[in-house]
Amino acid sequence: MVYDKQAVREVLDKAKAVGREALTAPEGRLVCEAYGIPTPGEGLATTADEAVKLAEDLGGGPVAMKIVSPDILHKTEAGGVLVGVHGADAVRDGYEKILANAQAYKSDASVHGVQVQQMLSGGQEVIIGATTDQSFGKVVVFGLGGVLVEVLKDVTFRLAPVDAGEARSMLDGIAAAELLRGVRGGEAVDEDKLADVIVRLSDLVTDFPEIRELDLNPVFADAKGAVAADVRILVETEPQPERPRYTHEQMLEVMTRLMHPRAVAVIGASNEAGKIGNSVMKNLINGGYAGEIYPINPKSDEVLGRKAYARVADIPGEVDVAVFAIPAKFVVGAVREVGEKGIPAAVLIPSGFAETGNHELQEELVATAREAGVRLLGPNIYGYYYTPENLCATFCTPYDVRGGVALTSQSGGIGMAILGFSRTTRTGVSAIVGLGNKADIDEDDLLTFFAEDPNTKCIAMHLEDLKDGRAFVEAARQTTKRKPVVVLKAGRTALGARAANSHTGALAGDDKVYDDILRQAGVVRAYSLNDMLEFARGLPVLPTPKGENVVIITGAGGSGVLLSDACDANGLSLMDIPPDLDKAFKAFIPPFGAAGNPIDITGGEPPSTYEATIKLGLEDPRIHALILGYWHTIVTPPMVFAELVAKVVGEARAAGIDKPVVASLAGDTEVEQASEYLYDNGVVAYPYTTEKPVAVLGAKYRWARAAGLL
Amino acid sequence: MVYDKQAVREVLDKAKAVGREALTAPEGRLVCEAYGIPTPGEGLATTADEAVKLAEDLGGGPVAMKIVSPDILHKTEAGGVLVGVHGADAVRDGYEKILANAQAYKSDASVHGVQVQQMLSGGQEVIIGATTDQSFGKVVVFGLGGVLVEVLKDVTFRLAPVDAGEARSMLDGIAAAELLRGVRGGEAVDEDKLADVIVRLSDLVTDFPEIRELDLNPVFADAKGAVAADVRILVETEPQPERPRYTHEQMLEVMTRLMHPRAVAVIGASNEAGKIGNSVMKNLINGGYAGEIYPINPKSDEVLGRKAYARVADIPGEVDVAVFAIPAKFVVGAVREVGEKGIPAAVLIPSGFAETGNHELQEELVATAREAGVRLLGPNIYGYYYTPENLCATFCTPYDVRGGVALTSQSGGIGMAILGFSRTTRTGVSAIVGLGNKADIDEDDLLTFFAEDPNTKCIAMHLEDLKDGRAFVEAARQTTKRKPVVVLKAGRTALGARAANSHTGALAGDDKVYDDILRQAGVVRAYSLNDMLEFARGLPVLPTPKGENVVIITGAGGSGVLLSDACDANGLSLMDIPPDLDKAFKAFIPPFGAAGNPIDITGGEPPSTYEATIKLGLEDPRIHALILGYWHTIVTPPMVFAELVAKVVGEARAAGIDKPVVASLAGDTEVEQASEYLYDNGVVAYPYTTEKPVAVLGAKYRWARAAGLL
């Protein structure tokens, strides 16, 4: 689009020159015009005919008419203002009347003519705005005007800039979206033109970052277009700090050396059991890490059988990672030495920095590291695991079930929950990483690595904040095209109020910003710790569906109903079974069983009925995913069911049919073993819940849709 | 309230006499007036002064004025109608103008005067209605007018009749409730007067059940009152069938004999392993049931060592329950014999009735049973358990962990999930009951018994429909005052559209009806199978809180944030810690730990810190419930934590302090054993989830609030 940036520049510079924060209405109008954002039309008429033509050109609706005369300052007093003038005759009369009034008021006044301004009303009132989020930077918002915004906060956010498609998605992103399409005889708005305003606004705030908040409120949208009736713009009067940024290549290089180190130094390595420096050494050695391990300990010649060095400078070879197990007060000095040795990554287990209120020490640490060319993981973390290298650089217990999921946590406690859950469920893991205070290395650095990492099929992250939400979204957008990213964002409800001077600013102090923007980045958000863990476990197990047709096959009618509820709750579409397929299913089930969807094979059926129907579900190419409901009976005991499902699914996969299959097992305790067996065989299965398997399938679908695979 | 029932009777009879379904607008107005529901005021003025006075009496707002003359039929044509007349002068002028117009139109017309009608506008537009739900009968609805009802379906339902308090709760029961209290300078409505309209409407449809649907739409509500601008009433033209009802005493008597039978007959008892009649016999005997067991089998002299009888008539003693294990086709005949023997309750395991499409057989069965004076459980069920009597009248495996929860399920599959879950979690159970086709005995019969049953502390029910929702609510209201009732209502999203002729009717085809009315009855609704099971397990374990002040004590800051999120999601209030208490907590935790709430004792603390803070939390009477967040460390290992918590909580209970305590354990796999230990010691604890423990506590709070205990 062609924008008049120069015009905006001039307006903003003028305000900046006098340290003015709020633009005036005419300045706002100028800025809008420069970016092609429609504002109410206006023009100067010097004859009644011109006034009529102008009013017509302005859409034929009601207009306001005002005398334009340098000699008449109090227009209203002079009878020089008319509002709500509607129709050619009224405009003509109005023109004459204003002129006559002016003449009567001041007979010698020099009259330039009459200003004719469009009066907006009708259509849908919407709000379009932009604000500057602490983490995400420029964010645009869209919502319907009035009570829907004020009371129900029915708005949606996106990271700016947005393209036309994203802007259109905002129109669908509010609960009351139906209103835009016309309800009960109401006129549908021109969605393209409305979306266009969003695009232009998002370009505007992107091009001019000093625009801190911008409200178009209300915008009147109807079938003809969208016009911003009022604009409010607030600008930064102080220069904004730049965030440090690394390039993709820079991030990838350091992260690769962190995850595939040729050698690891342990600063504070110890022979004394119970010490963190001892646990880290043991885990590195017992975990089976094959690279060199260099203990650093000025008081010992060796630690756990490895030659120890007094200082990192003494290490003979090249080192990629230094793990710190020394008190906080020694960390800054050691980081400097690490930099001098050319070690690019420091893993800072020690606590005693910002988390204990010692912000100064952390700032000194960060500054030192930047100077020394060292990237920092932590401080205040348990360390990290990378199973493809048998690397357990942590003081916790080793973990060795290799697999496709990389998990990260901001909190140490959550990291321990990840470890315990993974161990008990035998979740195949590529990495577990603690981020702690995130003084430097952040989720976007890790995402950049995991996106490229062939050992990682899925990433799950617990986080409480994003230092740089924009960098995260950029990394996530690249990653989610290739593999699912699950995020548990803690602190959903404790964001607290932020000072805000505009409507949009006030709306943005909300978890909804995270919700919308993470979705925009293709992230699958988990709303509970357990969901994050189960998604992390299940997503790499499930193949990607090739379409939206989900079919439930159940032995328990009761489970079928609950599984249908769960499909609805998770945005899954139950396939409308075509007649031929319905007939094919019916051939296998008792006459009183229900085909349709759920397919209720009824409870008393033998294994052969489960087998035949599941096989059919796998083989028919119109079906894209299966949800199985099992009912424990003597006729088909749990392990018999599990083994037959594993067999049928395995045969299908061998024949190149790879559909996601999940299962809910209702029965006595044997269903627990059967569920585990199924999970081990690529079927995401759970006992005593109809919701969990569907939630995992739903998460896979959410990702597949966001990645454009459906 | 004083209602003119006679007036309504006359209107309805008039419509009924001609088989008319819809009342006319004047009829609707008459009905409203008879029940004191305000409608727009009107009156006849015979002088201009009278017109002015009338307009003032009608509130002083705009009025419509119409000529009243038997000689002028086309009032508008005659210039006899003015709308939007506002203010004394305008009314006076209007009066004169109408009379002059009439005079000009027809000089000899006989003029009675001018009708002055209030014109409604401004204030809040709301909808108040009533409909007849298939299950619940008369239901009232309230919502805000316009888009909020049309698009967002922001409405709330209650069972009619409602009292003033319930009507007020409806005003708060919609998402946009804030609007009624005035937003951005808007005027608050008179909530009492608005609620009064709801009460009157609910009384009206209760007094006249033939009113099938009733819409007051819109009702204009403002600070002065609420006036129904339009009324639409639809009446039944056919007589409605009465539902069979039993009195409280009748239900209680049969249910008591069902649960505490002195003797049980097993019809179809068998010596042949694998037969249902064999499994039932084994379970009764092996379960330890102490009453007489009479096998009925015409082909054997004894079954499993018990003397068998050919027919129930042959049984020497009195029998309370007959368990059926014979094919469907023999059931009706056997029920007749059971009735003749005076056995009050038949437990019908056999399938082959309505669930397989055989509705006729089920109808015959029900009719026979009613005639024979036999109440039926089932058919198509697994049977039932009642542990206080060691009674396992089922073909499934026995269950013997006694405890306080009674579980029921409509579906057999869900029943099996209940059994497996209960066994693996060692949930203490009083009863597990299958309801199957619910041909007769229903949730309300069971609730009536469990409410009185001293062995039952909590009831959890899975259901897909309620045959008689009104009877259920009546029973639930009585029960929930004494013990929690948890309901998993399946089929939330598959209700399908129902034909409806009114706005309210269309709104009612929704799960929201169940949601609102179950809440109205004090029921705790579970939205997933697993939640139902966990609530069933946890609610009897947790003591009832005595107030709303919840405090989180956590070793993991990360868990603290997630636990806070969960509190918000579950409607729990984090206590605002008073300064003296804050100081008391701070005395135990490191200087960088956070008091406030969550109280973050920080991760590296020894058992003594957990102990001291938890003890303080238990002992301070201002705190009503505790949520613990544990972080697995070497300093405080999982079992050390579990044992110290159990000890502190046990000591407090011994000292008469009985507060609900729940815990989330983050750590390696040892936290699983620690969680089990805690649960066994009265602390609802889970590993790897911050949500579940808070959800169980939230369920306890929801019940306690509904029961009026807070």
pLDDT digits (tens, 9 = 90+) for B283-331: 999 999 999 999 999 999 999 999 999 999 999 999 999 999 999 999 9
Q: Which residue of chain A comes nearest to B568, CA vs CA?
A: A493
pTM of the predicted model, to two decimals?
0.91
Region B170-174: what's the mean pLDDT? 95
Residue B506: closest CA among B152, B150, B238, B168: B150
Determine the pLDDT at residue B497. Answer: 31
Most confident of A335-339, B216-220, B240-244: A335-339
Q: Both B112 and B128 in a single domain?
A: no
**Closest CA of chain B from A667, distance in Å:** 4
Cα atoms in the 13 Å half-sphere on the side-chain side of A73: 0
In a domain, A461, yes or no: yes
Dihedral (CA of A319, A320, A326, A331) sign: positive
**What is the rounded distance in angstroms from the CA atom of residue B77 to the CA atom of residue A140?**
55
Characterise A683 by phi-psi region: left (phi > 0), alpha (psi -120 to 50), beta (else).
beta
Q: Does the bond joining A218 to the residue before it have cis omega, within 30 degrees of 0? A: yes
Q: Which 3 state secondary structure label does DSSP give A574?
A: strand
Please give the residue that has the higher pLDDT: either A344 or B229: A344
- Domain shared by B646 and B663, yes or no: yes
Output b/e per residue, A250-285; b: 16+ Cβ within 10 A. Answer: ebbebbbbbbbbebbbbbbbbbeeeebbbbbbbbbb
The whole-number pLDDT of residue A553 equals 96
Same domain, yes or no: B228 and B253: no
Q: How distant is the Cα of B132 from the closest Cα of chain A, in angstroms?
A: 25
Specify if B443 maps to a domain: yes
At residue A309, the pLDDT reads: 97
Q: Which of A151, A423, A492 sits opposite B176 (nearest CB)?
A: A151
Query: Cβ contacts (< 8 Å) between B410 and chain A: which residues?
Result: 558
Strand extents, DSSP E, A200-296 = 211-222, 225-228, 231-235, 263-267, 292-296
DSSP letter, residue A188 = P
Q: What is the mean pLDDT of residues B360-367?
A: 97
Contact B176 A357 (CB under 8 A): no
B320 CB-contact burial (10 Å; exposed 0-12 / middle 13-18 / buried 19+): buried
Task: Give the Cα separation of A519 and A502 in Å (integer).
Answer: 25
Please state, in angstroms and rounded to a whole number, the distance separating the CA atoms of residues B213 and B236: 9
CA distance A607 to A609: 5
CA B629 to chain A, closest CA, distance in angstroms equals 9
Structural domains counted in chain A = 5
Q: In the predicted model, is pLDDT for residue B120 greater than 90?
A: no
Task: Say what the ipTM of the complex is.
Answer: 0.90
Residue A701 CB contacts under 8 Å (≥ 6 apart), including other chains: A545, A548, A570, A571, A572, A625, A710
Torsion of CA B264, B268, B270, B274, to 10 degrees: -110
Helix axes B359-372, B331-340, angle to 10 degrees: 10
Which of B88, B118, B148 corresponds to the end of one domain? Answer: B118
∠ Cα A622 A623 A627 (to 5°): 175
User: What is the pLDDT, as a whole number, of residue B500?
Assistant: 39
Which residue does chain A place closest to B425, by CA atoms? A669
What CATH number corresponds to the domain at position A163? Answer: 3.30.470.20
Domain edge (last residue) among B517, B540, B563: B540
Q: Are residues B189 and B265 in the same domain?
A: no
Mean predicted confidence (pLDDT) in B5-16:
95
Instruction: Indicate if B129 and B268 belong to the same structural domain.
Output: no
Partners of residue B353 in chain A, C-beta under 8 Å: none
Question: Which helix (H) or strand (E) segment is B220 a member of?
Answer: strand B211-221
Same domain, A172 and A315: no
Within a domain: residue A394?
Answer: no
Chain Cα centroid distance, residue B578: 37
A466 vs B386: which has the higher pLDDT: B386
Both tokens of B383, joined, read: 């049977």
Q: How far apart are CA A339 and CA A323, in angstroms?
A: 13
Within 10 A of B84 (CB to CB), how many other CB atoms are there?
12
Nearest chain B CA: its distance from A34 CA (Å): 33
Cross-chain residue pair A417–B669, CB shorter than 8 Å: no
Query: Which residues on adjacent β-strands are paired with residue B647?
Result: none
- Give the Cα-Cα-Cα angle B479, B480, B486 (nearest 5 degrees): 105
Token pair 């103008």: residue: B97
In a domain? residue A385: no
Select from B211, B209, B127, B195 the least CA-distant residue to B162.
B195
State the Cα–Cα distance between residues B694 and B574, nearest whole angstrom.
Answer: 12
Structural domain includes residue A386:
no
Of A491, A533, A668, the CB nearest to B561: A491
Which tokens go with A266? 């342990």
Nearest CA distance, B473 vs chain A (angstrom): 23
DSSP string, A268-328: T--SSTTSHHHHHHHHHHHHT--SEEEEE-TT-SEETTEEPBSSGGG--S--SEEEE-S-G
- Residue A242, in any domain of the structure: no
Among the partner-chain residues A151, A464, A691, the one whose CB lies closest to the CB of B528 is A691
- Looking up residue B304, the CATH number of its domain turns out to be 3.40.50.720
> Could you tell me how many helices (H) and strands (E) chain A has, helices first?
23, 30
C-beta atoms of A178 and B151 within 8 A:
yes
Taking the C-alpha atoms of residue B14 and residue B249, their distance in angstroms, rounded to an integer, is 40
- Residues A66 and A76: their CA atoms lie apart, in Å, by 9
Which residues in chain A show pLDDT less than 50?
A: 494-501
State how far the alpha carbon of A490 is from the alpha carbons of A463, A514, A687, B268, in Å.
6, 11, 28, 58
Q: Which residue has the higher pLDDT, B547 or B604?
A: B547
List CB contacts (< 8 A) between B154 and chain A. Answer: 152
Question: Coil, strand, or helix at residue A37?
Answer: coil
CATH number at residue B640: 3.40.50.261
Question: E-assigned strands of B279-362?
Answer: 292-296, 302-303, 306-307, 321-324, 345-348
Number of residues assigned to chain A: 710
Is B211 within the bounds of a domain? yes
Per-residue confidence band for B594, with pLDDT thresholds at 50, 70 and 90 = low
Q: Give the burial string for A40-72 (b: 16+ CB within 10 Å, else e).
A: bbebebeebebbbbbbeebbebbbbbbbbbeeb
Q: Which residue of B has its CA nearest to A664?
A: B417
Size of interface A-B (CB pairs under 8 A): 237
The CA distance from A289 to the nearest CA of chain B, in Å, is 22
CA-to-CA dists, residue B49 to B57, B67, B84, B100, B118, angstroms: 12, 16, 18, 16, 17
Structural tokens at position B639: 């079992």
Cβ atoms B652, B625 nearer than 8 A? no
Which residues partner with A485 through β-bridges?
A: A459
d(CA B515, CA B153): 14
In which residue are the tokens 């203990």 written?
A295
Contact list in B for residue A274 (CB cut-off 8 A) is 634
Q: Would the CA dihedral through A410, A413, A414, A418 be positive or negative?
A: positive
Residues A191 and A214 in one domain: yes
Task: Domain of residue B620: give its range.
Answer: 549-706
Residue B579 has pLDDT above 50, yes or no: yes
Q: Best residue in B174, B424, B528 to probe A by mutation, most A CBs within 10 Å?
A: B528
Residue A432 has φ and ψ, to the nearest 5°, of -130, 125
Chain mean position to CA B289: 35
Same domain, A484 and A413: yes
The answer to whether the CB of B650 falls within 8 A of the CB of B658 is no
pLDDT of residue B506: 54
Each residue of B679-704: pLDDT tens digit? 999 999 999 999 999 999 999 999 99
Nearest CA-CA partner of B559 in A679, A414, A478: A414
Q: Do B411 and A559 touch (CB under 8 A)?
A: yes
B286 and B359 belong to one structural domain? yes
Q: Say whether both A524 and A554 belong to one domain.
A: no
Q: For residue B702, tell me if it sits in a domain.
A: yes
Candidates A165, A182, A164, A176; CA nearest to A221 is A182
- Whether residue A491 is found in the same domain as residue A426: yes
Q: What is the pLDDT of residue A421?
A: 97
CB-hemisphere CA count at 13 Å for A432?
36
- Is the domain of A130 the same as that of A222? yes
Q: Is A700 helix (H, G, I), strand (E, B) or coil?
A: helix
Q: Distance between CA B549 and CA B572 in Å, rounded?
A: 8
CATH number of the domain where residue B73 is located? 3.30.1490.20
Domain termination residue (choose one: A103, A118, A133): A118
